[in-house]
Structure 1
């Protein structure tokens, strides 16, 4: 799972103005089919009008909206069969994490956002295949490519804020201005309190997917592993690689051990052998598989 909050790109050059350009760009694959926390099939024109209205006490040059991109891996998409209903539910869960990550005690319903599911992706200049000349820019990528684009207002949900203030539930003079691109992280003093920890957000949305869909994520598919491979020391990376190899071995051995246990269960019903026989078989599987896999991993590196 990749969760990105891009600061530039198509439709993001005018964040201080209308979100109309970004909405128009995201209409390229299919028109309509926007959704929010509690609505489906919202028209693009309504998305633009609603987000553009949702601003207060922001300078003319200040950002008015941001984009969040959720990109499940092909393994994750296969796990949920790219089910649009599950992807929409997951998007809403991810935006609950987005709200919580500001450390201001707000929820998803305190945000103003609209999202859209896309199913195609094309190659760009950063793709390895383009850089080495194997593919041209703009070609459709193979395999499942479903991902979600979310446009979220910098200002909290104004209708809800106004309603809560009138009811006496909040005593803040102004609504929150929420920027996921801030450099503040869990600050407790100064003009800006709270902040937004982007690394933490990536980990939280990954965990939200695993919990929602019972996905058993290999270490090599975690944000922690990918981040460490880019930023950790060589020794730290080596430790993680060894851990990943061991995990891969266990994934291969356990099914075989389970099959052996089924055979033993039938045998036990007739002869009642000692339980140590099961343990011996599992150990034998590890002894035979581990050296082979270690050599294979070594050759790849």
Structure 2
């Protein structure tokens, strides 16, 4: 389960309104029959019109400065394994989302208990994704794509008489480069904007910065998990515990579906992998052999480019090459987020 929390983009090139983001989330409904469309929903309603979403979020901004985000975007991305498991069960993603938002509310540190009823949010389920520039396939295809683009450009110049060259040889070279590229779908080079194959279902949420009464600020963007601060002579609690929220999304899924989570799929393990890869593999060594093998398979499937080395069996075989490659892959991808 991969979860991101992103604040509203604030700049001269982006509208203060949530309307652009709502329109982006409506893209999958284009050309679909009414009964096939996915609707916005919240804690109480299954079908909410886009106009109501825009009106509710845009009007819930009392006392916010122009530089402060009006809303936050949360994306919940089940893995392929989780989606495959979900297909066998009866739990709906709407039901799951509503439980997740209860944990989101509980992750705030405030002077009073925050519940899901304090939140103003709208969610949307999507079933498709397209490749973006930070994806492993795009990055590894990039050297081939650049050469192919240059050759295609030269072919057009030759056809216009601006350049001398053999078009047949250029087309042969393009074919060779395409065959040599590491990532293809149906013989075509994977490129930005191309739809991703397989199960891609995920959930987008728009959460207002202010509570449902437009009175209190509920920002998950602070760097504090739980702290107290003096404000106008009063001690005020603040903070949002992201670790609690991210871990709870997994626990909720497992509880509701009976999913058996592998070591590599736990949020705390992934966090350790980023901060201390050596310690990560030391803990992985303590897992049963079958679990270790599955964990490395999951890492490769997730797009982290670790080499296919033998699973280390002792601490002296901690595979320094694997750790270095893992750290390099993480540094490239850890800041990439699903956005619009």
> Could you tell me the TM-score, scaled by structure 2's length?
0.64
Q: Distance in 2 between matches of 1:43 and 1:210?
A: 31
Cα displacement (A) at 1:298: 3.8
1:33 is aligned, of 8, 32, 39, to 39
Q: 1:193 to 1:218 in 2, by over 3 A?
A: same
Unaligned runs of 5+ in 2: 31-37, 142-182, 184-189, 295-308, 314-318, 323-340
1:176 aligns with 2:175: no
Contact between 2:124 and 2:204, CA under 8 Å: does it hold in 1? Answer: yes
2:265 pairs with 1:221 = yes
C-alpha change, 1:21 and 1:249, in structure 2 (3 Å) is closer
Distance 1:206 1:110, change over 3 A: same
Structure 1 residues 8, 141: closer, same or farther in 2, change over 3 A? Answer: farther
Within 5 Å, which residues of 2 pair with 1:1-301?
Answer: 1-7=1-7, 14=14, 17-30=16-29, 33-81=39-87, 86-104=92-110, 105-133=113-141, 134=183, 135-158=190-213, 175-191=215-231, 193-232=237-276, 234=278, 236-246=279-289, 248=291, 296-298=310-312, 301=322
Q: For residues 69 and 4 of structure 1, what CA distance do their matches in structure 2 show? A: 5
What stretches of structure 1 of length at least 5 have no aligned partner? 162-174, 252-294
Q: 2:89 and 2:20 mapped to 1: Cα distance?
A: 28
More deviation in 117-126 or 239-248? 239-248
CA–CA distance in structure 1, aligned partners of residues 133 and 292 of structure 2: 36
Q: Is the 8 A contact 2:263 2:284 kept in 1?
A: no
RMSD of Structure 2 on Structure 1 (CA) = 2.9
